[in-house]
């Protein structure tokens, strides 16, 4: 319940722009100590700013609309996604992350292949229903429009039980020192748990995101088995990556 409640509190404060602790306590019907703990959690991600007796919304809207992000570097994203379909084999247990690149994996995949697909992405779900032999498992109970993904308490309770062969992940940013990162705390927890439960991690990321760091790291370079990107990646940066144990494919 905690993760779901924190999401609801964040949405409430975002709508109201500010709220007192007493108001939050009464609205969510929990103790004042519980509200203080939840606010402290949100404050860590700089979503809210604590003020005397309450909080104000503090998060800048850094996430572009999904449709706008999907158009950006569209050809590169399609090429990256369709290339990664070759990694999916019969009877695999895979996770496909939400994002504007990962869902293209299913576009070039044999429709009759049999495997288990775990996802929190609405785009992936809509494509996966056309695969008659795929067992589809959907995580999360709260829909997030800006990323077309599902997050929530049920997601994190379930994922830690899965044995995943291959995880196909997206990221807001990537750097050699800080690995794959994103801006959302709840999605970060999901991504981190998926990577920890996966035998192989594939990062699908266009070259514009390299050399950057977002707010939360969810997977460090040494845990990533393969990075698939486009051929516009800086050559010096590619040389640095090639010195690591991670395989890098620039299409």
What's the pLDDT tens digit per position in 63-78? 445 455 444 568 889 9
Could you tell me if 20 and 14 are in contact, meaning their C-beta atoms sit under 8 angstroms apart? Answer: no
Q: What is the 3-state secondary structure (H, E, C) of 39-74?
A: HHHHHHCCCEEEECCEEEECCCCCCCCHHHHHHCCH
CATH code for the domain in which residue 221 is found: 3.40.50.1360
Listed in sequence order, the residues at least 6 apart from 34 whose beta carbon sits closer than 8 Å to its beta carbon are: 25
The pLDDT assigned to 59 comes to 60
Look at 48-52, 126-130, 187-191 and tell me which has the smallest mean pLDDT. Answer: 48-52
The pLDDT assigned to 69 comes to 47
Residues 73 and 23 in one domain: no
Give the pair of three-digit tokens for residue 218. 């969810």
Model confidence at 154, in pLDDT bands (50, 70, 90)? low
Residues 139 and 212 in one domain: yes
Residue 219's DSSP bridge partners are 180
Could you report how far apart the first and last alpha carbons of the chain are, in Å?
43
Look at 34-48, 94-108, 215-229 and tell me which has the smallest mean pLDDT. Answer: 34-48
Residues 168 and 79 in one domain: yes
Residues 110 and 222 in one domain: yes
Helix (H, G, I), strand (E, B) or coil at 205: coil
Most confident of 138-142, 148-152, 178-182: 178-182
CA distance 191 to 177: 18
What's the pLDDT tens digit per position in 155-181? 556 788 899 999 999 999 999 999 999
Which of 179, 242, 169 minimizes the C-alpha distance to 205? 169
pTM score, two decimals? 0.72
What's the pLDDT tens digit per position in 109-120? 999 999 999 999
Task: Look up the domain containing 227 and give its range.
Answer: 66-250
Residues 83 and 126 in one domain: yes
The pLDDT assigned to 53 comes to 79
The pLDDT assigned to 62 comes to 47
CA distance 229 to 204: 6
Residues 26 and 77 in one domain: no
Give the pair of three-digit tokens for residue 164. 């995943």
Residues 111 and 169 in one domain: yes
Residues 48 and 80 in one domain: no
Give the pair of three-digit tokens for residue 221. 């370079």
Give the pair of three-digit tokens for residue 66. 């999904």
pLDDT of 61 over the 50 cut: no
Give the count of domains, the chain.
2
121 versus 153: the higher-pLDDT residue is 121
Residues 163 and 215 in one domain: yes
Domain boundary among the residues 15, 33, 57 is at 57
Residues 72 and 51 in one domain: no
R_g of the chain, CA atoms, integer Å? 19
Could you tell me if 162 and 118 are in contact, meaning their C-beta atoms sit under 8 angstroms apart? Answer: yes
CATH code for the domain in which residue 33 is found: 1.10.10
Residues 149 and 81 in one domain: yes
The pLDDT assigned to 97 comes to 95
What's the pLDDT tens digit per position in 198-214? 999 999 999 989 988 88
Residues 32 and 101 in one domain: no
Q: What is the 3-state secondary structure (H, E, C) of 201-213?
A: EEEECCHHHECCC
Per the prediction, the chain carries an average pLDDT of: 87
Give the pair of three-digit tokens for residue 247. 């395989």
61 versus 10: the higher-pLDDT residue is 10
Residues above pLDDT 90, as percent of the chain:
50
Domain boundary among the residues 37, 57, 77 is at 57
Domain boundary among the residues 39, 57, 75 is at 57
């Amino acid at each position: 319940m905690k993760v779901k409640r924190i999401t609801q509190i964040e949405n409430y404060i975002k709508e109201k722009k500010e709220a007192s602790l007493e108001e939050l306590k009464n609205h969510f019907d929990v103790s004042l100590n519980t509200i203080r703990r939840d606010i402290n959690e949100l404050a860590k991600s700089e979503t809210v700013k604590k003020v005397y007796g309450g909080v104000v919304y503090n998060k800048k809207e850094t996430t572009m609309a999904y449709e706008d992000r999907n158009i950006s570097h569209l050809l590169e994203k399609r090429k990256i996604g369709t290339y990664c379909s070759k990694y999916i084999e019969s009877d695999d247990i895979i996770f496909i992350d939400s994002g504007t690149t990962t869902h293209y994996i299913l576009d070039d995949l044999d429709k009759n292949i049999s495997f288990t697909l775990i996802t929190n992405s609405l785009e992936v779900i809509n494509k996966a229903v056309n695969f008659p032999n795929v067992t589809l498992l959907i995580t999360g109970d709260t829909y997030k429009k800006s990323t077309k993904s599902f997050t929530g308490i049920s997601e994190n309770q379930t994922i830690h039980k899965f044995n995943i062969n291959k995880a196909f992940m997206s990221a807001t940013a990537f750097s050699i020192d800080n690995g794959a990162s994103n801006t959302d705390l709840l999605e970060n927890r999901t991504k981190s748990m998926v990577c920890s439960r996966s035998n192989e991690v594939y990062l699908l990321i266009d070259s514009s995101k390299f050399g950057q760091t977002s707010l939360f790291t969810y997977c460090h370079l040494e845990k990533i088995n393969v990075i698939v990107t486009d051929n516009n990646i800086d050559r010096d940066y590619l040389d640095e990556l090639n010195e690591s144990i991670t395989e890098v494919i620039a299409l």
